[in-house]
Amino acid sequence: MEIPKTMRAAVYRGVNDVRVETVPVPEIGPGEVLVKIHTCGICGTDLKKIHTGSHSAPRVFGHEMSGTVAKVGEGVTGFAVGDRVMAYHHIPCGECFYCRKQTFAQCETYKKVGCTAGFEPSGGGFAEYIRVMDWIVKRGLVKIPDGVPFEQAAFIEPVNTCYKAIEMLGLQSDETVLVIGQGPIGILLSVLAHRTGATVLTSDLYAERHVIAAKYGLNHPLDARGDVVAAAKSATEGRGADVALVAVGGNSLIKVAMDAIRPGGRVMLFAATQHGEAPFDPAAVCMDEKTLMGSYSASVAIQDDVTKLVLEGYSTGFDLTQLISHRFSIEDSVAAIELASNPQPDSMKIVIQPGA
């Protein structure tokens, strides 16, 4: 595979400033792999970094990615040029205190990003090529079988984050789950909750999103403009849902979720990734024995299960490509980020496809 000297990339230059530029194709070292990106999804965390300036510039973001091995470094085994792969951008050390406690996202190695399109490592999927570093090659590079589209495989990392949250909740088949928000992540959380046998109530402002959710067997839609708390209680003999998942950023929704669950129920924060303060009733936690919990990023403990689910699921009813509403070339990636930042009723998962 002939590799060019330069490539096109969507480069973050500052707050709300992303530019499509020509940059060098990254060099790889021993134990590393160069991947030609086919598809990269735009994640809410990418957008948060772009709009808040939380990270220094310049960088190339994008981490929900899949593509083809273009070059392998010295000492790499198990991968060859032409292999179809997806890459996790975070992999923990496996040995520190937090890894021993299975709290992988707090591991210092995990917090380092192991994929880059140049500049400070930040994923790099909004570019034509990425360099995958050695510790990611060893434990975070996954082969994609023939017959599974790159678009499906690009969902492995986000599905892992959702699967982790659902597993933490320990759902039972007699439970009712309220999922607030039916964007791509909200639908993934809902589908995974539904697979446990639980009854899933889905809340969103847009009827168009409920139509997509219905394709995955989610058939208890709630209009978020109505009284979601009352609807949750109505569906549960007046008790309230056993679990509420908050899949939309917005601290005001934490109170809605807490009010919508029964005494002894659980609220899972999934999209509360910005610091701030959120009021909630402490007596609801103490006297009503409600649990407020959170889940962030992916888990290596479930990596194999998630890989199997996503790769085999394409042909067995878990076709995630149906969540993709818009596909953009690398040249149009600024427009892709703009649309993802301003969701429309008909917009769901938006992907950039440098290699399509």
Residue 356: per-residue pLDDT: 80
Distance CA 197, CA 177 (A): 10
Token pair recorded at residue 355: 């290699």
Token pair recorded at residue 218: 């989610």
Q: Which domains does the chain have, with CATH numbers?
A: 6-149+314-352 (3.90.180.10), 160-294 (3.40.50.720)
Q: How many CB atoms lie within 10 A of CB 29?
A: 11
Residue 79: per-residue pLDDT: 98
Q: Phi and psi dihedrals of 322, rounded to 5? A: -65, -15
DSSP 8-state secondary structure symbol assigned to residue 342:
S
DSSP per residue, 238-285: TS-EEEEEE-S--THHHHHHHHHEEEEEEEEESS--S-------HHHH
β-strands 33-41, 64-72 pairing: antiparallel
Helix (H) or strand (E) holding 6: strand 6-14
pLDDT tens-place values along the chain, 356 residues long: 799 999 999 999 999 999 999 999 999 999 999 999 999 999 999 999 999 999 999 999 999 999 999 999 999 999 999 999 999 999 999 999 999 999 999 999 999 999 999 999 999 999 999 999 999 999 999 999 999 999 999 999 999 999 999 999 999 999 999 999 999 999 999 999 999 999 999 999 999 999 999 999 999 999 999 999 999 999 999 999 999 999 999 899 999 999 999 999 999 999 998 899 998 899 999 999 999 999 999 999 999 999 999 999 999 999 999 999 999 999 999 999 999 999 999 999 999 999 88
Residue 350: per-residue pLDDT: 98
Distance CA 243, CA 172 (A): 11
Helix (H) or strand (E) holding 129: strand 129-132
Nearest to 83 by CA among 21, 25, 38, 22: 38
Distance CA 185, CA 335 (A): 21
Helix (H) or strand (E) holding 204: strand 199-204
CA 124 to chain centre: 15
- What 3 state SS string does 48-110 have? HHHHHCCCCCCECCCCEEEEEEEEECCCCCCCCCCCEEEECCCCCCCCCHHHHCCCHHHCHHH
Distance CA 340, CA 163 (A): 23
Residue 1: per-residue pLDDT: 76
Nearest to 137 by CA among 191, 69, 197, 190: 69
Residue 279: per-residue pLDDT: 86
Give ∠ CA 6-9-10 in degrees, rounded to 5: 160
DSSP 8-state secondary structure symbol assigned to residue 154:
T
